Structure 1
Amino acid sequence: MALSFQSIMNFIIWNSRGALKPYFQGHIHNLVQEHNPAILVVMETKLGGDRAKAITDRLPLDGAIHTDTIGYSSGLWLLWNSNFVEVVLLAKTEQEIHVEVKVRASRLSWLFSAIYASPRSEERSILWENLTKVAELHKLPWVMAGDFNEPLIDEDKFGGRGVNINRSLAFKDCLDRCSMVDMGFSGPRYTWTNKREFSNLILERIDRFFMNPDWCVIYPNARVTHLPRCHSDHCPVLMEALPVNSVKLTRPFRFQEFWLSDISFPTIVSKAWNGNRDLAESIDCFSKDATAWNRNHFGNIHQKKKENSG
C-alpha cells in the first residue's frame, strides 16, 4: 500500500536559557507563527512542574511534556501540535524525553527523543547509556534531537580548548550503538557562542538532529537548518521532513544486526557511500543494495530451516 503526503512537517529545537526571561514567550510565538512546527523542543527552561505548565498553557501548541529541573538549572520541554501528531510518553529523565509520535496524516509512527544533555560529563555518560538501552528495546524509526553539550569532531568547535577526545569518542560510541546518522545542515556552522570578543570567542555545534536509517528511508529528503540566533546564546535548529510521493508501508527497510558478521557486508556499505551522491541518494542506494544482497545471500535460510525440520 502506498501513502501520499501533502505537506512538510517541521520540528524545532531551541535552548532558550530560561523560560522566565521577558523575550521567551514572544520568541516561541514567532517561531510557531513562522514555521508551524509539529513538535518544538525547548531546552534549559530552568522550570518544571506547575510553573512550567502555567507557561506552556499559554503557548500556541496544545500538547506539552516537562522534565523536572535540577535546582534552578536544566529543564526540558517537548511541545506539539495535536493537529499534526499524536504523542505518547514512553519515558523521561532530567536529560531526556522519549515519546512515540503517530503522524495523523498517515499510519506512520516512530520514536522521538528530546535531549538536554547535562553540562557535567559524568551525567552525560548516564544519558549515553540510557540512549543505548533505548536502542536495544525498540526497532522503530527514530529521531533524537536537542542540546547534546558535546562537540562530536574538531570542526564542531572554534576557539578555546580542543575537543576532548575521550568525551567525543564516548558520544560517538553512543551514536554508533544507536545507529544514528547526522543529516548535515544549512546555515551558520555553529549553534552556540560564548558571546566574547574574538580573542576569547568560543563557538560550538552542539544542538543537533540525528536519525536512524529506518527514519531516513521514510523521510529521505529531510533537511536541517540553523536559524538565526535571537535572545539566546543558542540558535534554534529547524528540521523539515519533506513530503515524498509515496512510502511503501508493507515491507519497510530494516537493518539486520547479523549482517555485520558477514565479511561481504562492508563492500555493500562502501559502494553506497562512495562517490558524489548526497545523503538521501546514499541512503536510498544502501537500502536497495542491502535488501537485494540480503535476499540473495540469506533469503532462503528460513525456507531451508523448514525443509530441514520437515
Structure 2
Amino acid sequence: MGRPGRPLDCGLQHVGFLGNIVTWCNNRGHPDTIRKRLDMLVYNSDRFDGSNSTIVTHLANACSDHNPLLIRCKNEEARTIKYFKFQNFWTDHDDFLRVDPESWNTYVGGDYMWSFHVKLKKASSNLSKWSKDTFDNVHNESKRLGRKF
C-alpha cells in the first residue's frame, strides 16, 4: 500500500511515456540545475479498459520550465469503415433480381434524398449479405472467373 496521497491509494496507475524522462527544469545554470519528472498522466483502471491505447509523449519545452505532454488516446477496437462495392458479376447470377426488391418499394418519410439514402443503405446491406452467402468471398470468385475486380 502506498503512502497517503500517492496514486496507489486511489487505484491510479501511471501511463508510460515516450521521450525524455524529465518534464521540468528550474532553468538555472550548472551546478544549480535541477531536473525532475513532475508531469505525468495517471488513470484509474475503471476508466481505461483493455480496448484503449493511450500514448503520452514528453515534448521539448519552448518557453516554459515544464515540457508539454502530448496525449493520444485511441480505441483499438474501432472498426474500419467498409465501403460498399457493387460487383458486376452479381448480375450474371439467376437470383440477383430477386435479392432485394422490398428495399426500393418501402415507404421512407422525409425528403427525396433522405429516402434515397435510406433505401440505398438498406439495399447495399442486403446485397452484401447475399453476396457473402452466395459467393462466400468475392475475391475468391473473381479469381475463379479469372478477372480482377
TM-score (norm 1): 0.23
Q: Highest CA radius of gyration, 1 or 2?
A: 2
TM-score (norm 2): 0.46
The higher-RCO structure (CA 8 Å, 6+ apart) is: 1
